[in-house]
Every structure is written in C-alpha cells, then in structure tokens.
Amino acid sequence: MITMKRVRKTYPNGVQALNGMNIHIDKGEFVYVVGPSGAGKTTFIKLMIRELKPSEGLIQINGNNLGDLSDKQIPYLRRKIGVVFQDFKLFTKLSVYENIAFALEVIEEDPEQIKTKVMDVLEIVGLKSKARFNTSELSGGEKQRIAIARAIVNQPAILIADEPTGNLDPETAWSIMGTLEEINNRGTTIVMATHNSHIVNTLKKRVIAIENGKVVRDEVGGSYGYQA
C-alpha cells in the first residue's frame, strides 16, 4: 500500500531531511513512526501526499508511482489519504462545521449527506456541541480533534496522523486512540507519527524508528525509542 525506496529529500536550503528511506507498509496496518525532533517524520508524510517531491527515489501509494502522477491526478491521490497535520491546517475564519464539511464539498458529496457525516465525526471526536464555534475560539486540543475529524470524514483508505495526541490530555488522547483503533479495524491503514512513549508502549503496534532521515529500527509490537 505504501512503499518508499531509497528516498532522499534535500530542502532548497540544503538540509537533508530524508537520507535513503526504505519503507513498506501493507493495507490495514497500524504503524507508529517515532524519532527525535527533526528526524524527518513530517517530511516523510509530506512526500506521501505529494506536498513535496522527493529529490531521489521511488514512492508508491496504492500501486501508483507518485512520480508518474500528473498535476491533475494529485487531488485524487489526496482524497484517498486523510491527513491530521502537525499544525492542523484548519481554516481559521471558518466554523468547526464548515472546516469539516469542506473536505466533503471538495469531493462533491451530496449536501444532505454532508450534514450527517460531519455531525457523525464530531460525535466521534466529542465536539458535537462546538459545531458552530469559530475555529479560532478553540483550544489546541480541540483544534487537534477537529483536524482528526476532518481527516476521517470521507473514510480514506489511508489515515496519516502527524502527532495527533500532541496537545491532548491523557484521557482525550486515549479516546482518540480508541477512535483510530476502530477506524483501523474497519480496514483503514494508519500511519501515526508520535512522541508519546506511553501510548506506543501500551497499545502495541508496528514501530518504525527514524533518525537522521533513515529507518533505524522496524519492529512489530516494538516499544518507544529510536536507538538502534
């Protein structure tokens, strides 16, 4: 489902964020990506949704070689991947409801369906009561949950979450993990970058550790930590 071979990414300023990444993730897997700050986790995610192009190497998603995708095809790639961005990327001028509805408007979902689906995911992340709030009126943790709600609302085949529990209290964090687990059980592939050692060590999954832009450890049921 997700394959990277010898992927390098050098930013225009010369920083080598990825340095020969090799990864293979199958359909339906739940994978933690761990590593110190600056290891290249977010860069790895940006490459998967073609927010960035690799400097070198091969990336395949769902059997599609990203290098072969035309600009016109990219939106359709992105619709199959739900992303919880590390910086949320919410529309600050829009309401909670509008933010999530947007992901459905883009794929031209039936307006009647939009309402039901948005309210459903808001229920899941526990923010139904704040549907009409402006996004700027939310706390960090609430924003994070909206970002999660938007990422899952059109039931993508792959869900990528960049630090989805970073701003959450333990209780909410665990409730979000429960949601991700549930989504995963329905067949969605999940890739989650995280610094939360407690979660990684408790809810055991495959752990891919990255350091200096390289995979240094890849272990099913592994624990948190990135020393090889």
Partner 1 sequence: MAIKRKTLTRHGREGFKNIRRNGWMSFASMSAVAIMLFVVGAFAFLIVNTNHLIDTIENDVEIRAFFEHDVDASEQESVLEEVESHDSVENVVYRDRDEGLDVFMESMGSDGEVFENLREENPLNDALIIQATDPQMTAAVAEEVNAQSAIESVEYGESILGQLFTVTNYVRILGGALVIGLIFTSVFLISNTIKLTILSRKDEIQIMKLVGATNSFVRFPFFIEGALIGLIGAIIPIAGLTVGYSYLYSFMYDQVPFFTFVEPNPMIWQISGLLLLVSILVGIFGSQMSVRKFLKV
Ligand X SMILES: Nc1ncnc2c1ncn2[C@@H]1O[C@H](COP(=O)(O)OP(=O)(O)OP(=O)(O)O)[C@@H](O)[C@H]1O
Spatial separation of the C-alpha atoms in residues 37 and 80, rounded to whole Å? 28
Residue 9 CB, shortest distance to ligand X, in Å, is 8
Q: Which of 69, 48, 75 is nearest to 159 (CA)?
A: 48
C-alpha to C-alpha distance for 62 and 9, rounded to whole angstroms: 21
Closest among 153, 148, 143, 159 to 45, alpha carbons compared: 159
Cβ-based nearer residue to ligand X, 40 or 156: 40
d(CA 44, CA 8): 10
| Total interface residues for ligand X by CB under 6 A | 13
Which position among 39, 49, 84, 207 is part of the footprint of ligand X (CB under 6 A)? 39
Based on the shown chain and the rule CB under 6 A, indicate whether residue 140 belongs to the binding site for ligand X. Answer: no
User: What are the residues binding Mg ion (CB under 5 A)?
Assistant: 41-42, 86
Choose the stretch contacting partner 1; rule: CB under 8 A; options: 78-86, 157-165, 176-184, 211-219.
Answer: 78-86
C-alpha Rg value of the chain to the nearest Å: 17
Residue nearest to ligand X (CB): 42
Q: Is the dihedral of CA 226, 8, 43, 37 positive or negative?
A: positive
Q: Is 115 in the site for partner 1 (CB under 8 A)?
A: no
Residue 54 engages ligand X in binding (rule: CB under 6 A): no
Q: Among partner 1, ligand X, Mg ion, none, what binds residue 39 when CB lies within 5 to 8 Å by partner kind?
A: ligand X
CA atoms within 13 A on the CB side of 109: 19
Q: Per CB under 8 A, does 105 bind partner 1?
A: yes
164 contacts 143 by C-beta, under 8 angstroms: no
Cβ-based neighbour number of residue 103 at 10 Å? 22
Give 11 or 91: the residue with its C-beta nearer to partner 1: 91
Options 6, 11, 24, 91; binder of ligand X; rule CB under 6 A: 11
Among 7, 43, 59, 208, binds ligand X (CB under 6 A): 43
In the complex with partner 1, the residue whose CB is nearer, 49 or 209, is 49
Q: With contacts defined by CB under 6 A, name the span among 11-19, 57-65, 174-182, 184-192 that binds ligand X.
A: 11-19
Among candidate residues 127, 187, 121, 190, the one with its CA nearest the CA of residue 154: 121
Where in 71-100 is the site for ligand X (CB under 6 A)? 86
Residues that bind ligand X (CB under 6 A): 11, 13, 15, 17, 35, 37-43, 86
